[in-house]
């Protein structure tokens, strides 16, 4: 079935989102290390976005809030100058991301508030270690996939 968005999403946005989805679905449950209290570091949107970002330099990590939740996502300006949100770890969604959100749709982009600065332990050794471990796993998966066109 052809969907309304099929003609709206630029090919490079769709290709990136598809690639991100392949990587996310293939990621194992890696040991992301321990926090300062000795507890296991769990994957979060903040960690996942930062782990994937180096693979796709056209994507910009945005930290903010989705509804009432601290959140991180990607912003992308397509070649046709359309603006997109690619949410690799959607809040409250049971199916793995990414979600591709048309920034021009009046109501949807307002759910993503980049003016709010979230409070998460970004500057801790445990956070940096978790990002590095997940980035290594993501890079290994990406290297097995054919190049993006």
pLDDT, one tens digit per residue, over 71-80 is: 999 999 999 9
| Confidence (pLDDT) at 130 | 94
**pTM for this prediction:** 0.90
Tell me the C-alpha distance between 76 and 148, whole Å.
Answer: 16
Helix, strand, coil proportions of the chain in percent (round to 5)? 35, 20, 45
Report the chain's mean pLDDT, rounded to a whole number.
88
pLDDT digits (tens, 9 = 90+) for 15-61: 999 999 999 999 988 899 998 889 999 889 999 999 999 999 999 99
pLDDT bin (cut points 50, 70, 90) of residue 106 is low
Which run of H or E residues covers position 126? helix 125-144
């Amino acid at each position: 079935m052809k969907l309304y968005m099929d003609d709206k999403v630029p090919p490079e946005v769709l290709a990136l989102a598809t690639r991100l989805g392949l990587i996310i679905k293939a990621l194992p449950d890696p040991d992301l290390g321990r926090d300062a209290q000795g507890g296991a570091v769990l994957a979060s949107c903040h960690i996942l976005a930062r782990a994937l970002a180096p693979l796709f330099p056209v994507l910009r990590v945005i930290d903010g809030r989705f509804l009432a939740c601290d959140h991180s996502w990607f912003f992308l300006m397509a070649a046709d100058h359309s603006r997109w949100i690619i949410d690799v770890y959607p809040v409250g969604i049971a199916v793995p991301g990414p979600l591709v959100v048309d920034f021009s749709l009046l109501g949807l982009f307002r759910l993503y508030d980049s003016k709010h600065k979230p409070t998460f332990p970004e500057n801790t050794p445990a956070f940096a270690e978790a990002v590095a471990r997940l980035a290594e796993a993501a890079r290994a998966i990406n290297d097995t996939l054919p190049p993006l066109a």
